[in-house]
Chain A
Amino acid sequence: MIPLTINGKTYRVDVPPDTPLLWVLRDHLGLSGTKFGCGAGLCGACTIHVNGRAEFSCQLPAGDARGKKIVTIEGISHDHPVKRAWISEEVPQCGYCQPGQILRAAALLAEHPSPTDRQIDEGMSPNLCRCGAYPRIRKAVRRAAGEKGGRK
């Protein structure tokens, strides 16, 4: 049994410790907001927060997540400035990558409450969007920064 702290709750999961946290979230805990896109840390669809930093959950073995503070899209409040900005800018198209984008943006703003355009471009580039919502992601990150700084 591996104890995991996710969105402030403690879970105990019976999985091989090499199971990526992504699949623990999706297949064992029913937290399906975190998405599978590449399984190789290349697309960011599975982005979560690990101790406040954006990480690829497909690359994090469950055994290594023990004792760390995990936050998923389900743990980001609906009035979080990033979620609000995402709605105001109508960012999502197919929407599949957006939970990961939102987690990435929230971590970026926590680190850089008033990011430069370059910091936004670099900070958001680990996350792919096949629909090409990038122009709106840029705007939404700027909006969220303007609204509230980078509060987590």
Chain B
Amino acid sequence: MSGKAHKPEFACLTRRDLLKAGVALGGGLVLGFHLPFPGAAEGDAGKGAIFAPNAFLRIGSDGTVTMVLGKSEMGQGVYTSLPMILAEELMCDWKKVRVTSAPVDPAYDHTLFGSQVTGGSTSVRTEWERLSKAGATAREMLVAAAAREWKVDPKGCRAENGRVTGAGGKSLPYGKLAAKAAKLPVPKDAPLKGPGKPVLLGKRVPRLDTPAKVAGTAVFGIDVRLPGMRTALVARPPVFGGKVARLDAAKAKAVPGVKDVVQVPSGVAVIATDFWSAKKGREALEVAWEDGEGATLSTAGLRERYAALAATAGMVARKEGDVEAALAKAAKRLSGVYEVPYLAHAPMEPENCVVDLHADRCEIWTGTQMQTVDRDAAARVAGLKKDQVTLHTQFLGGGFGRRANPAADFVTEAVHVAKAAGGAGPVRVVWTREDDIKGGFYRPMWYSKLDAGLDAEGALSAWRHTIVGQSILAGTPFEAGIGKDGIDRSSVEGAKDLPYAVPNLLVDLHSPKVPVPVLWWRSVGHSHTAFVVECFLDEAARAAGKDPVAFRLPLMSGHPRAKGVLELAARKAEWGTPPPKGRGRGIAVAESFGSFVAQVAEVEAQADGRIRVRRVVCAIDCGKIVNPNTIEAQMESGIVFGLTAALHGQITLARGRVEQGNFDDYPLLRLDETPEIEVHIVESVEKPGGVGEPGVPPVAPAVANALFDATGIRLRTLPMTPEALLSARKRA
């Protein structure tokens, strides 16, 4: 045994050892191999990429097609859906497709946002055209290369499954044509295939990243290892905006394995040989904090402040008719206050970032949704030019918006640590779960006050919705998203543009400044507006004595696709028949990110106050379908994510301190709470919509509406905890 004794220190291992262990030296290993960029003729690929007509693909002499993707894979399936779009036009052999993550380069900028971003459920929508063209261009060049080889007209040649075939059965694989194609001019307007039967699109193509993720070899940011790398944990102030008042690092430095303790703008970093030593070192730190203005914050205080604001007129997001007059003469009036809390994203992989900082360059390995923002911020902190900073995007162990931070928090912090450590080699900053849950950048807390009026026939005549909550965009590089009217559209999306025709309507907004960092959280504004709008509409239907579906449909003539999914979900869920014994049924619909989703939930309220969601039927219209399997997975995912928020999720503050810290007090939905989920996809030729986020918004209102159906109890505050249901029962 001693002869085979393992070397305990990673620094002792050779590069070959690391590769044998399945660990990518230098990161970047995504699938198969990492291909150097740009346009490398040789490298780890071995066989060599010899045809690189654009930034998005490389074809090697062995026919391997490497797709270079600027979008981050965080579970939503872009490392399969985007290659499918490209391969559909390239007509390559799907079995030879590999994926690698792109460097930070304008070539990969988001076509709408102007920098490299994965978010807003936009990847398929915005990349479709660009990747289709990239594929078609390469295909045309390969066909031209074959035609030249055979001295025939390219029109008589055709591409299929990685080969070009000409008259008389002549045929050459892409790999054999790649070198010749590389010498041809790149056509400007290569024609797309045109309508016809797609080879890949619309099919259940297995995900390319599944084998690595099942084997356990997929490299996430937290898995990156560099020789000599240190691990740092940062002690951050307990109150947002707090500062170090006094620091005694002596005891921390005495912990075996601790190499250094440095102060950075976000707190105090303990740098050690490994995570556990760094954690013990951090526990031994003696820090006194100066809390600052945040120390008085409490959830109760914020609610009071928001309620007072909601009683006053806000910035007008939308106004139709005369809502005051209509309310005044309504045959029936109803009002309600809806509240949702701050929420943490809580991706399973806690935030982390590896930085290798030198005098003239900086390399970063992390899982991020915002490469350009992170790279630029790192350059500023490091005092380097942007092109001296290289960022290697790893697999993301969940994103949900947390890794799309305009403040680049976990990246800049790691660069600060590396800088303060002063050339001590590569440093990895790892967050614990408590760091993540307490670390801010939450979905904002929202307060909504609503009034509605019904006319004598029970039709909806007035709708007034006042929204109070922090702006996500304010103070970020994306502030341009706030219009001249002062409205952050992400605060009112789904409320301003609700899919129902109401003759008199007013939606107004207050955007208070609160020293709690907020961020987009899967489905952003829709994560609260769908809950509020769809529940209050349900209340209006009940007040009118009508069935919630029958009440909605006549109001939806201007929104045929939303109406379509509502009808489909209702039909598939046997709406109109009695639900199984002991269950209530509720429905909700929302348009978000270019897609339309309706869900029917079947819910049981237990004696102990627990709400059991037994079944969710989901209908989605996301336009043209790339991969039905991905769409179904994202609907399932969105429903589970939305149920966590509906039933469990809340971040609360007391004396400025976040009261939650781990999955005991910030629980996520578990498997035994997961309903049966069925997904129905509308066949459509409409332009593609998003799928990563639109599954989230309808589920909380569908559950709340189902709870009302089952019990007659209306819960207007999330999460719908057992305590909330029990106390509502007592009041009833």
Within 8 A of A (CB), among B22-42: 22-23
Q: Is the CB of A135 within 8 A of B677?
A: yes
Q: State whether A36 touches B350 (Cβ < 8 A).
A: yes
Against B, the Cβ 8 Å flags (1 = close, 0 = not) of A100-142 are 0010000000000000000011101101111111111110000
- State whether A33 and B216 are in contact (beta carbons under 8 Å apart), knowing that A38-B433, A42-B663, A133-B637 are contacts in the complex: yes
Alpha-carbon gap, A137 to B640, bound state (A) = 13
Chain A positions within 8 Å of B77 at CB level: 93
Closest beta carbon of chain A to B72's beta carbon, Å: 10
Do residues B672 and A12 form an inter-chain contact, with CB atoms below 8 A? no
Are A94 and B396 closer than 8 Å at their CB atoms? yes
Closest to B670 in A: A125
Is the Cβ of A94 less than 8 Å from the Cβ of B75?
Answer: yes
A17–B535 alpha-carbon span in the complex (Å): 54
Q: Contact check, B21 vs A83: say whether CB atoms are below 8 A apart.
A: no
Tell whether B311 is near chain A: CB-to-CB under 8 Å.
no
Partner of A95, one of B2, B395, B399: B395
- Contacting pair A37 B348 (CB below 8 A): yes
- Please tell me which one of the listed residues B17, B212, B400 contacts residue A130 in the complex, with CB atoms under 8 A apart: B400
Interface string of B175-219 (1 = CB under 8 A from A): 000000000000000000000000000000011011111111111
Bound together, the chains give a CA A74 to CA B396 distance in angstroms of: 20
Contact status A87-B222, CB under 8 Å: no
**Would you call A57 an interface residue if the criterion is a C-beta within 8 Å of the partner chain's C-beta atoms?**
no
Chain A residues within 8 Å of B400, by CB: 130
Chain B residue nearest to A137 (CB atoms) is B671
Q: Which secondary structure dominates where chain B touches chain A?
A: loop
CB pair A45 B348 closer than 8 Å: yes
| B156 part of interface (Cβ distance < 8 Å) | no
Contact B395 A27 (CB under 8 A): no
Task: For chain A, residues 64 to 120, give those with C-beta under 8 angstroms from any C-beta of chain B.
Answer: 72-74, 78, 83, 86-87, 90-99, 102, 120
Q: How many residues of chain A get a CB closer than 8 Å to chain B's CBs?
A: 65
B23/A14 in contact, CB under 8 A: no
Stretch with Cβ within 8 A of A (4 or more), from B3-11, B112-120, B320-328, B417-425: B3-11
B347 within 8 A of A: yes
Q: Main SS of the interface on chain A?
A: loop
- Report whether B276 and A23 are in contact in the complex, using a CB–CB cutoff of 8 Å: yes
- Contact, CB under 8 Å: A122 / B677: no
B206 touches A90 (CB 8 A): yes
Compute how far the CA of A127 lies from the CA of B669 in the bound complex, rounded to whole angstroms: 10
Interchain CB contact under 8 A, B636 and A132:
yes
On whether the beta carbons of B6 and A87 are closer than 8 Å, the reply is no
**Contact status of A94 and B214, CB under 8 A, knowing A28-B10, A130-B347, A132-B640:** no
B349 with A132: CB separation less than 8 A:
no
**A36–B351 CA distance with the chains assembled, in angstroms:** 11
B663 and A40 form a contact (CB under 8 A)? yes
Question: Bound complex: CA of A98 vs CA of B669, how far in Å?
Answer: 16
Cβ 8 A contact of A40, one of B209, B348, B662, B669? B662
Q: Is the CB of A93 within 8 A of B22?
A: no
How many angstroms between the C-alpha atoms of A23 and B231 in the bound complex? Answer: 12
Closest to B346 in A: A130
Q: Is the CB of B633 within 8 A of A96?
A: no
Residues 380-413 of chain B, each 1 if its beta carbon lies under 8 Å from chain A, else 0: 0000000000000001111110000000000000
Query: What CA separation (Å) do A16 and B276 show in the bound complex?
Result: 10
Chain B contacts of A52 at CB under 8 A?
none
Instruction: Determine which of A20, A74, A92 lies in contact with B210 in the assembled complex, contact meaning CB atoms within 8 Å.
Output: A92
User: 12 A-B residue contacts at CB 8 Å?
Assistant: A13-B8, A27-B274, A30-B23, A34-B216, A35-B348, A43-B433, A92-B75, A95-B75, A96-B347, A97-B397, A132-B640, A138-B674
Taking beta carbons and an 8 Å cutoff, which residues of A are in contact with B? 3, 9-16, 19-20, 23, 26-40, 42-43, 45, 72-74, 78, 83, 86-87, 90-99, 102, 120-122, 124-125, 127-138
Given A32-B23, A43-B433; 11 other pairs, CB 8 A cutoff: A11-B5, A30-B21, A40-B663, A43-B668, A83-B214, A87-B211, A90-B633, A92-B207, A92-B210, A102-B216, A132-B641
Cβ-closest 7 pairs across A and B:
A132-B640, A33-B216, A96-B397, A95-B213, A94-B75, A93-B75, A73-B216
